[in-house]
Amino acid sequence: MTKGQVVPCTKEEVDAILEAASDNDFYYMLFKVAFKTGRRLGEYYGIPEKKVIGTEEYQDKFGNRKIREIKKKTKNLVGGVQVKDIDFEKQVMMTRVLKRRKYVAKEAILDDELVGLIRRYVAKEHLKLDDYLFRKVTYNGIQKAIARYAAKAGIEHVVSFHSARHHVITSLIKQGWSYDQVSKITGHSSVGTIAVYDHAVASDIADKAREAMGKL
């Protein structure tokens, strides 16, 4: 495992994290959605808007002089799932993904369990259509929470919110899903980026492969 590489969560570890988070309706709902849809935290929560504050000159790899914009993050958030972005009948949730400097809407598929869970949370919190579903705490608060619940569940390796995305992708690949199919579920803009998750799938069959090699 190289430095900075995400350690995949097993199904048992995912269940343990969810069990640990069952003491908090918000985190349980969010983690359940994350471990089933595999979207980025920024899609659920929203990301800081960037404002152009100037330009700078630079050289490209061919030595040509070019001008690029200098941007600074603001306190305004772009995207994030609102209650009105959930279609309970069609069982989909609309998220917004930055693609080529523009935000495009993408559907995240929900199952019966997620629809029921979100419905109950919305009703309990008395959320309105324009309310944001996943902004009860701060972005950093969510990142710290999943690490805290993972520790509570007895998981020794590092767990971040991206671990949920990693779990969904590797699980689907193990089930025989193609990169193209996985990208439609997880919202990847390019199927090529999913290839980086193959290491986790390969590591699962390493011992079996070595045993087979000994018989060759």
Residue 141 lies in a domain: yes
Residue 26 lies in a domain: yes
Q: Name the residue among 129, 137, 155, 114 with its Cα closest to residue 15.
A: 155
Q: Which range marks the domain in which residue 75 is found?
A: 11-213
9-13, 92-96, 132-136, 188-192 — most confident range = 132-136
Mean pLDDT taken over the chain: 84
How many domains, the chain? 1
Q: What is the pLDDT of residues 183-210, one digit of tens each?
A: 777 765 555 566 566 655 555 555 665 5
Q: Name the residue among 8, 3, 33, 4 with its Cα closest to residue 198.
A: 8
Residue 5 lies in a domain: no
Of 147 and 201, more confident: 147
* pLDDT for 21: 97
CATH of the domain at 34: 1.10.443.10
Q: Quick check: 4 and 96 in contact, CB under 8 A?
A: no
Which of 90-99, 142-151, 175-184 has the lowest average pLDDT? 175-184
Q: Over 80: is that where the pLDDT of 177 sits?
A: no
Q: Over 90: is that where the pLDDT of 118 sits?
A: yes
Euclidean distance between CA atoms 153 and 69, whole angstroms:
45
Could you give the percent of the chain with pLDDT greater than 70? 81
Q: Quick check: 201 and 173 in contact, CB under 8 A?
A: yes
* pLDDT for 2: 45
Residue 50 lies in a domain: yes
Residue 184 lies in a domain: yes
pTM recorded for the entire structure: 0.79
Q: What is the pLDDT of residues 17-37, one digit of tens each?
A: 999 999 999 999 999 999 999
Place of tokens 């350690």: 7
Residue type, 162: H
Residue 1 lies in a domain: no
* pLDDT for 188: 56
Residue 182 lies in a domain: yes
* Cα dihedral 176, 181, 182, 185 in deg (nearest 10): -130
Of 103 and 206, more confident: 103
Residue 6 lies in a domain: no
* pLDDT for 182: 77
* pLDDT for 60: 86
Euclidean distance between CA atoms 216 and 212, whole angstroms:
7
